[in-house]
A and B are shown apart, each in its own frame.
Chain A
């Protein structure tokens, strides 16, 4: 059984069809990268997977570990191990980062029938993850993302991922906003989470990230359709030729591999 199976997915937002028939299969242990021009529907796909209710699925199906993902509420999908690193993480005043993260972890543990973690157990593990992402723990005593720089927010997303240890992580342009050193650190954090049980869907515009997080598959999303799929070389080819090249290809039928 695949970890994620998307079949003929059509999605409307405010009456506009944004995704126009997506097919994608992701197996445990794989890293897939999704590339494509602005506005092509990458974030839409990510948000639908995370079960945001403003996005209406009009056709098609999504199975997550063989279960109907479209039947799940956002928190259920999260507790089942689906994680979205947001393209634009929100700020929430008055909620401490550490407190929030421990609450989230405990909500997920509770869902899985595990004991909740008290501060004594949580902190050593948390410190380890902070170290992994070379994050200043001063940030953690502040409110959730409040006043964080763009790069700090992105790094915080990956820290959360590292603590929550999801089965499927969707990273929506986690690289944008990161400086060169931060990119390397974040990629290292992501790579350390790669495992045979875990899969990742990495949305990016830049081949550069894929030098660090080497994908098993690359898919090109144009105007709500996957127009091309291939191995990691595809990203290099795109870098060289741009999306115009694939868009021409889009006119011809392409067998979505993946």
Chain B
């Protein structure tokens, strides 16, 4: 076996560090999905009538799709059919009463987040990052709320937003990803149990990074969260989400929806470090990560940037997109997707140019190791009115070992002749000569590989908030263990 293969081998055998289970009492509803379950979820959450109506509409749409077998088949991923009646749609840590402070939170949950490196206790928190912690179906804690409130920023769980800011929720919920958008988006709209909500008012620069940490803990549950971020005129916000799950033999479904709205001159940076349980080295277990993320640059000069580092999940199906409606608006997508062992990823973006002089940038770095399959799927659409639109796409793949694959599907549709498009793509293998060069200078094979891979991803990492860039690099090295030398 060549050194390179050995590396891949060693890396693939590295264990998932976040795979522990927290023992707590759960409030869960029985498995299965019908209108009663929707009513039950809505009732558990004490929702106003408009939310129940909204959910039911979505459910009926989803049920009709399911009946007609309209689950999407076009992605370059393979998995056995999902039995939607065999999933628990709501599971929450049992809680006696409304929490007044973090001290009342189940210490087991606090410890879980601490173990994950996300301490929620104020004195230990990352100095400049506010965290919303979502545990299974519900948000269990949001930090730095008061400090944010001083700036006028609303950062809370979705459930709280429904109660305290119904007018905002009514106005923006489903405005970017309607329940009719796709199969999983419809399912999410029907059953979503919580998530994060952010509103940054006019002219406010959010004083700290906001982040949500998603944790799946319960067995046989799906996680269906929904995030809505609205940046009003001239506002700025940077948001990060992280995710982990215990090691389980079964596949668990995670079907989230994220909607972003940027009004005139507003900017939203949305970063993801996705580290759901990827399954074991034989491909058993792991999360199905079927996610719809879309941002609307509704106002002129607005800007939305997606940065994602996807190292986890058995299957990732995800296309964070931008609708560039406002004139001069800017959409960006920076992605690192790594598949090792038997992981599959079909990920990319859509940039829809509607406004004049809209600009989009796509930088995608796919890394495949082991038997991993990595697909980039990207669409750039320039509509008639998008005078002077520009797109730059760069899409690189790195292969580690002989049994993995990289695939690229770019779709381009241009209806305005003034558009300018640039596309670059490259596929490379980690060169034996590069590895040897680094080893000859004293670096262990594993360190040499992660150095080469991190070098490959540099363009994306530098888009991440400082605090998380280092984390992302570490995560990448760990996820590669056993996959690359």
Contacts and interface: CB of A to CB of B under 8 A. Distances in A.
Interface of A: 50, 52-54, 73-75, 77-79, 83-84, 86, 89-90, 92-95, 100-101, 103-105, 107-108, 111, 143-144, 160, 164
A103 B437 contact: no
Contacts of A50: 436, 440
A103 B2 contact: no
Given A53-B3, A100-B451, A103-B451, A90 B440 contact: no
Contacts of B434: 90, 92
A206 B223 CA distance: 69
Interface string B433-445: 1101111111111
A107 B458 contact: no
Given A75-B445, A78-B441, A90-B431, 4 more contacts: A75-B443, A90-B437, A101-B441, A107-B447
Contacts of A94: 454-459
A89 B436 CA distance: 11
A135 B443 CA distance: 24
A73 B439 contact: yes
B441 A164 contact: yes
B452 interface: yes
Interface residues of B, number: 26
Interface in B131-177: none
Contacts of A92: 434, 437-438, 451-452, 455
- Majority-rule SS of B interface residues: helix
B442 A104 contact: yes
A95 B455 contact: yes
B436 A74 contact: yes
Interface of B: 2-3, 431-434, 436-445, 447-448, 451-452, 454-459
Contact of A75 (B2, B444, B451, B459): B444
B436 A143 contact: no
A143 B439 contact: no
Contact of A143 (B3, B444, B455, B457): B455
B444 A107 contact: yes
B442 A160 contact: no
Given A95-B451, A95-B452, A95-B455, A90 B433 contact: yes
A161 B444 CA distance: 18
Nearest to B458: A94
A93 B426 CA distance: 13
A108 B437 contact: no
B437 A111 contact: no
A90 B451 CA distance: 14
Contacts of B443: 75, 103-104, 107
A75 B437 contact: no
B440 A84 contact: yes
A168 to B, nearest CB: 13
A92 B435 CA distance: 10
Most chain A beta-carbon neighbours within 10 Å: one of B433, B441, B442: B442
B367 to A, nearest CB: 13
Contacts of A74: 3, 436, 439-440
B438 to A, nearest CB: 7
